[in-house]
Chains A and B, each alone.
Chain A
Amino acid sequence: MTAIRTSTIAAAWLVLERDLRLAVRRPAQLIQPLVFFAVVTLLFPLGYTPELGKLRAIAPGVLWVAALLASMLALESLFREDAADGTLEQFVVSGQPLVGLMAAKTLAHWLLTGLPLTLMAPLLGIALGVPVVAMPGILVALMLGTITLSLIGAVGAGLTLGVRRGGVLLSLLTLPLAVPVLIFGARATELAILGESQIGPLYLLSALAVLGITLAPLAAAAAVRIGLE
Chain B
Amino acid sequence: MNWTWFHRLGSPPHIYRIAGTLTPWFAWPAGLLIAAALYGGLVLAPPDYQQGEGFRILYVHAPSAWLAVMIYGVMASAAAVGLIWRMKVAHAVAASCAGVGAWFTAVSLLTGMLWGKPMWGTYWVWDPRLTAQLILLFLYLGYMGLRAGIDDLGRADKASAVLAIVGVVNIPIIRYSVEWWNSIHQAPSVMKMDRPSMPFDMLAPLLMMLLGFTLYFAAVMLVRLRAEILRRERTASWIREVLR
Footprint of B on A, CB under 8 Å? 155, 159-160, 162-164, 166, 169, 172-173, 175-177, 179-180, 183-184, 187, 204, 208, 211, 215, 219, 222-223, 226-227, 229
With the chains together, A222 CA to B166 CA distance in Å? 11
| Nearest CB on A from B230, distance (A) | 25
Cβ of A177 and Cβ of B167 under 8 Å apart? yes
When distances are taken between beta carbons in the complex, the residues of chain A under 8 Å from B184 are: 187
Q: Is residue B125 contacting chain A, with contact meaning CB distance below 8 A?
A: no
| Nearest CB on B from A62, distance (A) | 16
Cβ of A179 and Cβ of B155 under 8 Å apart? no
Which B164-201 residues have a C-beta within 8 angstroms of A?
Answer: 165-167, 169-170, 173-174, 177-178, 180-181, 184
Cβ of A179 and Cβ of B142 under 8 Å apart? no
Cβ of B135 and Cβ of A159 under 8 Å apart? no
Cβ of B173 and Cβ of A180 under 8 Å apart? yes
Cβ of A222 and Cβ of B142 under 8 Å apart? no
With the chains together, A166 CA to B146 CA distance in Å? 9
Q: Can you list 14 residue pairs at the A/B interface with Cβ under 8 Å?
A: A159-B159, A160-B146, A162-B150, A162-B151, A163-B149, A169-B142, A169-B146, A169-B149, A172-B138, A175-B138, A179-B177, A180-B173, A183-B177, A183-B178
Cβ of B154 and Cβ of A176 under 8 Å apart? no
| Nearest CB on A from B185, distance (A) | 9
Per-residue A-contact encoding for B31-71, CB less than 8 Å = 1, 0 else: 00000000000000000000000000000000000000000
| Nearest CB on A from B94, distance (A) | 14
Q: Is residue B129 contacting chain A, with contact meaning CB distance below 8 A?
A: no
Residue of A nearest to B131 (CB): A179
Cβ of B169 and Cβ of A173 under 8 Å apart? no
Neighbour of A173 across the interface among B142, B150, B154, CB < 8 A: B142
With the chains together, A163 CA to B158 CA distance in Å? 14
With the chains together, A179 CA to B178 CA distance in Å? 8
With the chains together, A223 CA to B154 CA distance in Å? 13
Q: Is residue B241 contacting chain A, with contact meaning CB distance below 8 A?
A: no
Cβ of B178 and Cβ of A172 under 8 Å apart? no
Given contacts A176-B174, A219-B162, 17 further A-B contacts (CB under 8 A): A155-B162, A160-B149, A163-B146, A166-B149, A169-B145, A169-B146, A172-B141, A173-B142, A173-B145, A176-B138, A177-B139, A180-B177, A183-B177, A183-B181, A187-B181, A223-B162, A229-B154
Query: 9 closest Cβ contacts across the A-B interface?
Result: A180-B177, A163-B149, A176-B138, A226-B158, A183-B181, A173-B142, A183-B177, A172-B142, A159-B159
Neighbour of A184 across the interface among B135, B139, B146, B177, CB < 8 A: B177
User: Which among B158, B162, B174 has the greatest number of chain A C-beta atoms within 10 A?
Assistant: B162
With the chains together, A177 CA to B162 CA distance in Å? 14
When distances are taken between beta carbons in the complex, the residues of chain B under 8 Å from A222 are: 162
Cβ of B174 and Cβ of A180 under 8 Å apart? yes
When distances are taken between beta carbons in the complex, the residues of chain B under 8 Å from A172 are: 138, 141-142, 145
| Nearest CB on B from A83, distance (A) | 13
Q: Is residue B110 contacting chain A, with contact meaning CB distance below 8 A?
A: no
When distances are taken between beta carbons in the complex, the residues of chain A under 8 Å from B141 are: 172
With the chains together, A217 CA to B141 CA distance in Å? 24
| Nearest CB on A from B242, distance (A) | 30
Cβ of B145 and Cβ of A226 under 8 Å apart? no
Residue of B nearest to A165 (CB): B149
